[in-house]
Amino acid sequence: MSITVPPPTLEDLLHEVSDACIGANIDLIKKAYTFSERLHHNQKRASGEPYIIHPLSVAMILAKMNMDEQTIAAALLHDTVEDTSVTLEDIEREFSPEIAKLVDGVTKLSAFTQSNDHNISSSGAFKSRADKQAENLRKIFIAMAKDIRVILIKFADRLHNMRTLTYMKKEKQERIANETLTIFAAIASRLGIWKMKWELEDLSFSYMNPEEYNNLKKLIDQKMADKEKIIQNTIAIITKALEEDGVDVLQISGRRKHIYSAWQKINQRGKDFSEIYDLFAIRVIVNDIESCYKVLGAVHRLWTPMKNRIKDYIARPKSNGYRSLHTTVYGPGEEPVEIQIRTMEMHMVNEYGPAAHWAYKERKNISAQDEYPWVRRIMDWQKDSKDARDYIENIILDMNESEVFVYTPRGDAIDLPAGSTPIDFAYRIHTDVGHKCVGAKVNANIVPLNYRLQNGDRVEIITSKTANPSLDWLNICRGNHTKLKIRQWLKKERREENLLRGRDILEKEIKRVSRIDRRISEDLLSNVELLGKIAEKLNFTNIDDLIASLGYGETSITHVIQKIKNMLPKEPEKILIPAKKAPTRQDILSKGVKVKGVDNVLVVFAKCCNPVPGDDIVGHWKIGTGVSVHRRNCPNVQSDRLTEVWWIGAKTDRRYPVQLEIEAWDRRGLLAEFMNIINDLRIPTNECSAKVKKSKALITIGIEVLDKAQLNAVLRKLAKVNGVLSASRSALSEDITL
């Protein structure tokens, strides 16, 4: 998908700026254009066009958002420091410190920039392209926190690049599209810049999954063509009713649902295409809030509203500032129609987020940290992050979480990750409130601290001066921000406890793993040289810091053990010699399976379906081998040699191998998150593999479970991980004798 519109000219830009703001400093914009055009004069874009078209297009996007002249001038200059010989000092001298800071905020770090960060080698070069990109993003976020206009320029820059991405190689298209979707579209959503969010999402989706994009686009186009008459009829009926009620309507129009948004409902929420009621909506824009409610009343007089589909975001705005009335009614012909009602100011804020401040306020910069609480959170992560990629991963996880909206006793909206508890709410209010939390009231009722908050809950935190955070809270809370604050406190206040707990965790895990991996001995804790190398690889100053980190939950024991395994020599392959001795009755019974009418027979478990206690099973006679036990619905079972078998005996500690298949949107740290879940459940793993195609990861993990109930518990936990599309048992091909 590419946007083919004629490139703007300087005259187009100046006309747009003049229309948006009478008395705008046109000379400043002309000067910035001339300066940029001279520096980029001999440069071409991948399309073959003169490079100046790109900064001019970026400036035009911002002009249409009514941005100030300084922002537009910075947009015209945004690539000069990165791609030409000019310096920030030159920009500051030629223009102003304000414009220089904006240009600096969106300028990428050089591959040879000197830094003390762990991601940069002693020579000054980044260790990898991923490290460099993570540092560039961190730089943008820090600059954004000081001046929101930095991210607006970056959005416009990315939007124009996405509109012209068709000229790039396929691999680069997919990489840029994935980054745009997971980071920039997500930030646009958090800032409430819906107009950019929707276009960035659809453009990204078209490159990441062109087949699904095109199929869904055809479905929506067809549906819209079928409903065009209904939309126009509905608009006409509403317009007439509002005229009769004396309501002054500024604008009324139809709006179609964006393709990626529809795809999310179908694929991530399990809805059928026919169940998406907001494929098209009618938007009514009026003069004031009183008129909004008059329109809502008129619409409900005309048609019956659908149950649970009336949302008042005027009385209770979203945390990103979104305000509107939404209702879905059974319109003409009993067709579901969504109606959105708002004022023009609300509409501008909803479409352009912080950019609307320049249209409706004093046309001056706002502090992102003051205006948006989640920006304060990412600044907190920045202060405590040793690694740029971990920092970016935390931001991505936070921004792409499903959200729940709850309210303070004063009625202020607070957004939290879905599944959050009162502990998450307390830390979102203030770190000290979180530290001193001892209880909570939800909707005036006392609730436990592990209560899962629901949309619309009104939450009040009970505190005590003598209270302190508990390590158990890390298993209760949901948000990364909350966990970071708890770990920071535990790290600072409970150093000795953390060392003892961390050493105990490491000793127990080494003892457990040593039973199945002969390379690992129980005296490994005394191997100072090896542990020192592990600490260094994980960016810790010394071994005690690593062990303390295990103690307060910052570092996963699974991650440490895997690092240890990677540093030890590989174990020689085992040569298996089949046993000649016939199995005894006790051997057979110990397997937990009884074969009908036979005692002394060899039993094998089929790997094609990996049966575990709790599965409905059937036996299959195999010549010269014995009985192969399958799940009853296994397609490999031959009906001519079946025998009845059943599980026997009390529950034991015996474990059964099962392979899991997980399909998810790929992101850094995904596999580690799965392994942490399995490790927390104390379930052994024996193998793991992963492959990525078109931004989707297919991960296979071999585990050993006690029974079907434990297997189902694992699958439920894995399915809840952010980005997981499916989690199930996988099918193999051969039998294994146990």
Positions marked active-site = 82-83
For 399, residues 6+ apart whose C-beta sits below 8 A from its C-beta are 183, 186, 187, 189, 190, 374
Q: What is the DSSP letter of 7?
A: P
Distance between CA atoms of 56 and 47, rounded to whole angstroms?
15
Q: Which two tokens stand for residue 497?
A: 């406890």
* Cα dihedral 38/43/44/46 (nearest 10): -130
> In whole angstroms, what separates CA 667 from the centre of its chain?
9
For 107, residues 6+ apart whose C-beta sits below 8 A from its C-beta are 78, 81, 82, 88
Amino acid at 591: K
- Residues 727, 728, 734, CA angle at the centre, nearest 5°? 140
Q: How many CA atoms lie within 13 A of 233 on its CB side?
A: 12
How many CB atoms neighbour CB 493 within 10 A? 13
- The H or E element containing residue 380 is helix 373-384
Q: Which two tokens stand for residue 565?
A: 């395994």
User: 32 near 79, Cβ under 8 Å?
Assistant: no
* Cα dihedral 83/86/87/90 (nearest 10): -150
Q: Which two tokens stand for residue 232?
A: 């126009």
Task: Give me the numbers of helices (H) and strands (E) for the chain, helices first please.
Answer: 31, 22
Q: Which two tokens stand for residue 394?
A: 């935390």
User: 377 near 291, Cβ under 8 Å?
Assistant: no
- The H or E element containing residue 133 is helix 129-146
**Looking at the DSSP assignment, which residues form a beta bridge with residue 459?**
442
| Strand residue runs (E) in 464-614 | 593-595, 603-606
Q: Which two tokens stand for residue 519?
A: 């390379």
User: 529 near 567, Cβ under 8 Å?
Assistant: no
Task: Look at residue 112 and give its three-state secondary structure.
Answer: coil
Distance between CA atoms of 11 and 33, rounded to whole angstroms?
11
Q: How many CA atoms lie within 13 A of 362 on its CB side?
A: 3
User: 59 near 72, Cβ under 8 Å?
Assistant: yes
Q: Which two tokens stand for residue 241?
A: 């009713």
Closest CA to 358 of 70, 738, 732, 658: 70
> In whole angstroms, what separates CA 179 from the centre of its chain?
11
Distance between CA atoms of 490 and 554, rounded to whole angstroms?
10
Task: Look at residue 282 and give its three-state secondary structure.
Answer: strand
How many CB atoms neighbour CB 638 within 10 A? 10
- Residues 251, 188, 219, CA angle at the centre, nearest 5°? 65
Distance set, CA 582 to CA 506, 586, 587, 737 (Å): 41, 12, 10, 13
User: 599 near 584, Cβ under 8 Å?
Assistant: no
Spell 138-164 as b/e; 16+ CB within 10 A means b: bbbbebbbebbbbbbbbbbbbbbbbbb
Task: Look at residue 478 and give its three-state secondary structure.
Answer: coil
Task: Give one DSSP letter per residue of 392-461, joined into a string.
Answer: HHHHHHHHTS-EEEEE-TT--EEEEETT--HHHHHHHH-HHHHHTEEEEEETTEEE-TTPPP-TT-BEEE
